[in-house]
Amino acid sequence: MKTDWRPGADREALQARARLLRQVRAFFDQRGLLEVDTPLLCRFGASEPQIEGLSCGPRHLQTSPEYAMKRLLAAGVGDCWQVCHAFRGGELGALHNPEFTLLEWYRIGYDHYRLMDEVEALLGELLGPRLSAPAERLAYAEVFRRHLDIDPFTGDQAQLEAAAGDVLPETPLDRDGLLELLMALRIQPRLPDDRLTFIHDWPLSQAALARVLPGDPPRGARFEVYLGAVELGNGYWELTNATEQARRFEADNRRRRAAGRAEVTADPYLLAALESGLPDCAGVAIGLDRVLMLQLGRATLDEVLSFSWERC
């Protein structure tokens, strides 16, 4: 065990974090959003197969405040936001810490395209000196064609594996696993580091809590925002149908079983909130530690966290 008691962040980074939080609060105050606070420990966790939660006794540390905030939306609180700590197991590295700071907000009457405008406005304020070119918005299929010359919706398994090349692992991956690998290791490193890149309209199998966009094939109303290879945020035009959400929870657990991972009980509170009527809305989560890291030109999250996972 390491015995270095000192923080990873220096005083400049701690001051910059305080300043960033003031900027975020001012941004939402100017727009009239309500700041809320929701529990970190809940009876139920997130079911998404690519996310591993952390438990504390019989309760789950939340991977995001999404479920609780949607319950507030269904109760009629209106546009709202919060900054909180979130927790995800199995994620540790230069850009990952199991405990991290998350900004999440929801806009009633917005779709994911309109919400991208607001995300761009906020990140423009926070990362202005790093941005020398306007943000670019690309459909998921377009970015695959541009960088890998394949169609992610119609390309077969052999084409996807060929595109992976030497980063293809020995352990076989299903189609979604291959697409996630290609995005992380083949596409993200090629994204420009002088402007924000929004990638929108993802495969429906990776839509999570997003609604379905019509078309052939249908797509998920989801976007991610990047600066260079660093993913900063993930947003949805939110699914409001309780029956469809329950079906997706079941599909998540099928994928978990197939991967040999523990199932997660579907959150009945969220399903009841959707059944009662979630207003038409879009929401997004932004990793503030990564924003701060880029703002200061630091190389790792450890340099902007007071005490990262290995220091506490």
**pLDDT by residue (tens digit) across 107-140?**
999 999 999 999 999 999 999 999 999 999 999 9
The whole-number pLDDT of residue 258 equals 86
Mark residue 286 as left, alpha or beta (left: phi above 0; alpha: psi -120 to 50; beta: remaining): beta
| pTM exceeds 0.85, yes or no | yes
Q: CA geometry: angle at 138 spanning 136 and 141, to 5°? A: 160
pLDDT the model gives residue 126: 98
Write down all domains in the chain, each with its CATH number in brackets: 11-133+192-311 (3.30.930.10)
pLDDT at 211: 96
Q: In the structure encoding, which two tokens stand for residue 69, read together?
A: 């905030």
- Among 262, 113, 114, residue whose Cα is nearest residue 200: 113
pLDDT tops 80 at residue 3: no
pLDDT at 286: 98
What is the tens place of the pLDDT at every residue in 183-238?
A: 999 999 999 999 999 999 999 989 889 999 999 999 999 999 999 999 999 999 99
Q: Average of pLDDT values for 276-297?
A: 98
Give residue 47's pLDDT.
87
Q: Is the pLDDT of residue 1 over 70?
A: no
Q: How far apart are CA 218 and CA 207, in angstroms?
A: 11
Which is more confidently placed, 308 or 207?
Answer: 308
Q: Provide the pLDDT for residue 57.
A: 87
Quote the pLDDT of residue 306.
Answer: 97
On average, the pLDDT of the chain sits at 95
Model confidence pLDDT, tens digit, residues 10-36? 999 999 999 999 999 999 999 999 999
> Could you tell me which of 261, 260, 266, 138 has the C-alpha nearest to residue 209?
266
Are residues 96 and 281 in contact, defined by beta-carbon separation less than 8 angstroms? Answer: no
131: region left, alpha or beta (phi > 0 left; psi from -120 to 50 alpha): beta
Nearest CA among 99, 122, 91 for reference residue 25: 122
Residue of 275, 192, 200 whose CA lies nearest to 227: 192
Q: In three state form, how does the secondary structure of 6-57 look?
A: CCCCCHHHHHHHHHHHHHHHHHHHHHCCEECCCCCEECCCCCCCCCECEEEC
